[in-house]
C-alpha cells in the first residue's frame, strides 16, 4: 500500500514515513506544502531542499552510516549499529554471543537464549513458527501455555532482578515451593518430613515413593522405580515387587488404604477371608473352601506341583502318595497316567482319565466304547470285546509288556503263565526264548526238522547239537544207553547216560570211569589207571587200582585179594579162600575173637538171637569172650577157668555136647527147682502165722464191745483204740 507523502509548513509537519518537510516548506507560515520523499533506504530523513537531504533513522536490518546513509546490517543481525556483526539483536533462530549472532544449536548445555520472537528461555525455535520455542532451557516447561515460560516439576520460580528464573529444587525434593529447599514432594527413596525429605528405611512402616510402584518401604538402589522392601506381608518376589500380597495373604481395603491379611484355614492363597483360591499341601479346593484330602475325593489333592493326587506323601508333601480314582503312576510320587479301564483325555495344561465303557477293557480310544487293550489275562476278540485267555487257543494273551503268552501268570503280575508252542519263558517272564527243538527265524520260533535237537541249523532242517541224554547218529538224535559211547550231559564229560532229573549230571559212565558223589565221571573205575586225560585198564589180574606212574603194578587189590611185594594180587585176603581159582568169602575164617558166623554173616558176640558159639581163640562153647578167653558160655555149659568145657547142672554130656539130663526135662536146672519149692513153703508159713494173729484180735474186740453196752455214758473202747 502506497504511503501518503503528507504536507507540512512552519511548525507543522504531517509527513508520512519515508518523507520529510523541505526547507522551503518550513518557511511557509500559512500554506502547507507537499512533503518530499527521502532516499529509498531511509525511514526518516531531513534535508535543505529536494536534492540535499540525509537519513535520520533506518528500517529494521539497516544501520545509519557516518555519511547519513542507511546501510544493510550483517545478514544474521536483526538490528545493528554498524557494519559486520555489530548486532543489537539477532534474527529468530539465532543467539547473541558477545555481539555476534550464531545459529542456535538446540543443545542442553547452550548458555544463551535463542531468539524466537518475544519468547524467552528457548534453546531453538519451532521451524513452523519461528516466534515460538521448540525446546527450552533446563528447568522450563515446553508444554506450558506459553512454551518455556513455566518451570518443570522439580524446579521453582525465583525472582532475580526483574526476571523470574527456574531453579532446581534440592536433590532430595521432587517438587518444592518458594525456595529450592522447601520440599512439597520427595524423590524416589525419600519421604516428606515437614518441609524436608529424609531417606526411606526398611524398618519403618511408612510408604516410600519409588516411581509408580506401590507398597514400597525402600527403593531398589539400581532402579529407584522399583521396590527393594515392601510394606508388611507384601511380596518382594512379585512382578513388579510389592504389587501383590505374600502367599497365604490377601489384599483388603482399610480406612487409610489397603493391607495384606492372612488367609484362614487350609488356604494357600485367597481372594478374601471366605474364599480360597489355592490350598495348602494335603487339602483340596471345593466351592471356595479347602478340605483335607481323604483319597476318594474327585478333586485333585494339592501336593506341591504334583497333579492328580488322591493324597500326599506324609514325608514329602510335594509328591503323591495315592492317585485320584482313574489315575495311576509310572514313577514314584507322580500320577502321570491313567489306570486300567480309563483313557487319557488331554486338556490345556493337564489331562483327565475317563472310564472305558467296554467290560474288562484296560485301554480305549477317546471313543469310550472302542477298546484297544484288555485287562490282564484277557484278549481282544474280533467283536472288540474282552475275552478270557484259554490255554491252547492260539490267541496272544495280554499279560503286560511280555510277548507270546498263551496264558498269564496267576502268581506274578505282568508275566506269562504259559507260552505258545515252541517258546519258553525268559528271566523276565516273557516268552522270547525258543524251546528245545525250535530255532528262531526272524521273530518266530520254528520247530526243528530233527527231534530231540538242542541247536538246530538256521534253516531248521538239520541238527547241529543234540539235547542232553541224546547222541547224534545218522542225522538223528538217538537216546543214550549205558555202556554206550559218551553221552552229551551239558558240560559234564565221560557220561554214558544223563541223570533224568538233572541232565547236566551223569547217571552212568563210559567204560573205565566211575561216578562220584558229585555225579560226574572224572575218577577211574576199578582196575583202571589215569594216564594223561584217559583211564586205561590195568593189566594186573585182580587189581582194583594200579600204581599212578603207569608201571602196571597194583596199588590196591580187588576185594578178597591181598597185594604181595611184587605188586600182584594172587593171594586171598583174610576171611577168603581159593575156590575155582578165585578168592571167595568164608564166614568162619573171617570171624575174629568176639565175633561169630551166622547165616553167612559175621556178627558181634552177645547180640540178641545168638545161636552159634563165639570165636575166642581156640576155645569152644563161648557165648562171649574177653580177648581170647570166654567171659560167658552157651546154654548148658559151665564157665570154669575162663573156659566152657564142662556141663552146667541139669545137663549131661552126650556125644561131646551138653544136653538136658532126664531129671531136668522141664528144662530148668535142679538147683533152680529146689529154690522154687523152698520159696513156696516159706510163703505158706507166713500166711498161717498172720491168720492166727488176726483171729486172736477179733476175740478181744468182742469182749470190749460187751462191756461198753452196760454203760451208755462210756465211749466204746474200739473208738479209742482204733
Which tens digit of pLDDT belongs to each residue from 60-86?
888 888 888 888 888 888 888 887 767
Query: Are residue 603 and residue 579 in the same domain, yes or no?
Result: no
Residue 266 lies in a domain: no
Residue 103 lies in a domain: yes
Query: Are residue 566 and residue 599 in the same domain, yes or no?
Result: no
Which tens digit of pLDDT belongs to each residue from 82-100?
877 678 888 889 988 877 8
Distance CA 693, CA 698 (A): 9
Query: Are residue 538 and residue 649 in the same domain, yes or no?
Result: no
Query: Are residue 540 and residue 601 in the same domain, yes or no?
Result: no
Distance CA 230, CA 238 (A): 11
Q: Which residues pair with 227 in a beta bridge?
A: 219
Show the domain range for 542.
Answer: 534-585
Distance CA 105, CA 125 (A): 10
Last residue of a domain, one of 90, 108, 138: 138
Number of domains in the chain: 3
Query: Are residue 21 and residue 118 in the same domain, yes or no?
Result: yes
Residue 321 lies in a domain: no
Query: Are residue 66 and residue 84 in the same domain, yes or no?
Result: yes
Query: Are residue 128 and residue 12 in the same domain, yes or no?
Result: yes
Which tens digit of pLDDT belongs to each residue from 237-276?
999 999 999 988 999 988 888 999 999 888 988 998 889 9
Query: Are residue 14 and residue 130 in the same domain, yes or no?
Result: yes
Instruction: For the beta carbon of residue 413, count every other beta carbon within 10 angstroms.
Output: 12
Query: Are residue 124 and residue 22 in the same domain, yes or no?
Result: yes
Instruction: For the beta carbon of residue 610, count every other beta carbon within 10 angstroms.
Output: 16
426 Cβ contact partners less than 8 Å away, ≥ 6 residues apart: 432, 433
Q: What is the pTM of this model?
A: 0.36
For position 664, what pLDDT does the model report?
A: 63
Residue 168 lies in a domain: no
- In this predicted structure, the answer to whether residue 694 has a pLDDT above a threshold of 80 is no
| pLDDT category of residue 49 using cuts at 50, 70 and 90 | low
Query: Are residue 550 and residue 652 in the same domain, yes or no?
Result: no
Residue 703 lies in a domain: no
- In this predicted structure, the answer to whether residue 350 has a pLDDT above a threshold of 90 is no
Which tens digit of pLDDT belongs to each residue from 554-611?
888 888 999 888 888 989 988 898 888 899 988 888 888 899 998 888 999 988 888 8
Query: Are residue 42 and residue 134 in the same domain, yes or no?
Result: yes
Query: Are residue 20 and residue 125 in the same domain, yes or no?
Result: yes
Q: Please compute the mean of the pLDDT values over residues 157-168 and round it to a whole number.
A: 87
Contacts by 619-626, CB closer than 8 A, 24 or more apart? 619/643, 619/644, 620/644, 620/645, 621/645, 621/658, 624/594, 625/593, 625/594
Last residue of a domain, one of 585, 620, 655: 585
Amino acid at each position: 500500500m502506497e504511503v501518503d507523502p503528507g504536507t507540512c509548513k512552519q511548525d507543522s509537519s504531517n509527513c508520512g514515513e519515508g518523507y520529510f518537510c523541505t526547507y522551503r516548506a518550513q518557511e511557509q507560515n500559512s500554506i502547507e506544502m507537499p512533503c518530499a520523499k527521502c532516499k529509498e533506504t531511509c525511514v526518516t530523513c531531513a534535508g535543505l531542499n529536494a536534492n540535499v537531504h540525509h537519513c535520520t533513522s533506518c528500517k529494521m536490518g539497516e544501520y545509519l552510516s557516518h555519511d547519513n546513509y542507511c546501510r544493510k546490517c550483517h545478514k544474521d543481525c536483526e538490528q545493528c549499529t554498524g557494519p559486520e556483526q555489530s548486532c543489537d539483536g539477532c534474527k529468530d533462530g539465532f543467539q547473541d554471543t558477545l555481539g555476534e549472532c550464531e545459529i542456535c544449536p538446540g543443545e542442553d548445555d547452550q548458555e544463551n537464549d535463542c531468539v524466537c520472537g518475544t519468547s524467552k528461555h528457548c534453546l531453538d525455535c519451532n521451524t513452523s513458527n519461528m516466534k515460538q520455542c521448540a525446546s527450552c532451557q533446563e528447568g522450563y516447561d515446553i508444554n506450558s501455555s506459553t512454551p518455556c515460560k513455566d518451570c518443570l516439576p522439580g524446579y521453582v520460580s525465583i525472582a532475580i532482578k526483574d526476571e523470574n528464573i527456574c531453579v532446581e529444587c534440592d536433590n532430595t525434593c521432587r517438587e518444592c515451593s518458594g525456595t529450592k529447599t522447601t520440599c512439597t514432594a520427595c524423590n524416589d527413596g525419600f519421604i516428606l518430613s515437614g518441609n524436608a525429605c529424609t531417606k526411606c528405611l526398611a524398618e519403618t512402616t511408612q510408604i516410600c515413593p519409588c516411581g509408580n510402584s506401590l507398597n514400597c518401604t525402600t527403593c531398589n538402589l539400581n532402579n529407584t522405580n522399583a521396590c527393594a522392601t515392601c510394606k508388611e506381608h507384601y511380596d518382594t518376589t512379585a512382578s513388579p515387587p510389592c504389587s501383590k500380597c505374600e502367599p497365604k495373604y490377601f489384599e483388603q481395603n482399610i480406612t487409610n488404604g489397603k493391607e495384606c491379611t492372612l488367609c484362614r484355614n487350609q488356604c494357600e492363597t485367597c481372594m478374601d477371608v471366605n474364599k480360597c483360591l489355592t490350598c495348602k499341601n494335603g487339602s483340596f479346593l471345593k466351592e471356595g473352601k479347602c478340605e483335607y484330602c481323604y483319597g476318594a475325593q474327585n478333586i485333585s489333592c494339592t501336593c506341591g506341583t504334583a497333579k492328580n493326587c488322591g493324597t500326599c506323601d506324609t514325608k514329602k508333601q510335594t509328591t503323591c502318595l495315592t492317585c485320584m480314582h482313574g489315575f495311576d503312576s509310572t514313577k514314584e510320587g507322580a500320577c502321570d497316567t491313567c489306570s486300567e479301564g480309563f483313557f487319557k483325555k488331554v486338556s490345556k495344561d493337564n489331562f483327565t482319565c475317563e472310564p472305558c465303557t467296554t467290560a474288562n477293557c484296560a485301554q480305549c480310544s477317546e471313543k469310550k466304547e472302542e477298546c484297544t487293550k484288555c485287562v490282564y489275562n484277557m484278549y481282544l476278540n474280533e467283536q472288540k470285546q474282552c475275552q478270557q485267555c484259554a490255554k491252547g487257543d492260539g490267541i496272544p494273551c495280554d499279560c503286560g509288556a511280555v510277548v507270546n503268552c498263551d496264558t498269564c501268570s496267576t502268581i506274578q503280575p505282568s508275566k506269562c503263565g504259559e507260552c505258545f508252542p515252541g517258546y519258553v519263558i525268559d528271566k523276565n517272564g516273557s516268552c522270547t526264548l525258543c524251546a528245545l527243538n525250535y530255532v528262531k527265524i526272524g521273530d518266530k520260533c520254528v520247530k526243528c526238522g530233527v527231534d530231540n535237537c538242542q541247536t538246530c541249523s538256521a534253516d531248521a532242517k538239520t541238527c547241529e547239537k543234540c539235547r542232553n541224554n541224546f547222541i547224534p547218529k545218522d542225522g538223528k538224535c538217538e537216546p543214550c544207553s549205558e555202556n554206550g559211547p559218551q553221552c552229551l550231559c551239558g558240560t559234564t564229560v565221560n557220561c554214558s547216560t544223563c541223570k533224568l532229573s538233572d541232565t547236566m549230571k551223569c547217571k552212568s559212565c563210559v567204560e573205565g570211569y566211575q561216578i562220584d558223589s558229585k555225579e560226574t565221571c572224572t575218577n577211574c573205575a576199578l582196575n583202571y589207571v589215569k594216564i594223561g586225560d584217559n583211564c586205561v585198564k590195568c593189566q594186573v589180574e585182580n587189581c582194583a587200582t594200579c600204581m599212578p606212574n603207569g608201571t602196571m603194578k597194583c596199588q590196591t587189590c580187588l576185594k578178597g585179594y591181598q597185594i604181595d611185594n611184587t605188586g600182584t594180587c594172587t593171594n586171598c585176603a583174610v576171611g577168603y579162600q581159593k575156590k575155582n581159582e578165585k578168592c571167595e568169602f568164608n564166614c568162619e575164617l573171617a570171624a575174629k575173637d568176639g565175633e561169630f558166623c551166622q547165616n553167612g554173616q559175621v556178627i558181634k558176640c552177645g547180640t540178641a538171637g545168638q545161636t552159634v558159639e563165639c570165636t575166642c581163640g581156640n576155645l569152644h562153647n563161648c557165648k562171649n569172650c574177653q580177648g581170647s578167653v570166654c567171659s560167658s558160655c552157651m546154654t548148658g555149659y559151665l564157665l570154669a577157668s575162663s573156659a566152657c568145657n564142662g556141663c552146667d547142672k541139669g545137663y549131661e554130656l552126650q556125644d561131646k555136647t551138653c544136653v538136658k539130663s532126664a531129671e531136668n526135662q522141664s528144662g530148668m536146672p535142679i538147683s533152680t527147682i529146689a529154690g522154687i519149692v523152698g520159696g513156696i513153703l516159706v510163703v505158706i508159713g507166713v500166711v498161717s502165722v498172720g491168720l492166727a494173729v488176726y483171729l486172736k484180735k477179733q476175740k478181744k474186740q468182742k469182749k470190749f464191745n460187751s462191756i461198753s453196752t452196760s454203760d451208755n455214758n462210756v465211749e466204746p473202747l474200739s473208738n479209742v483204740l482204733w
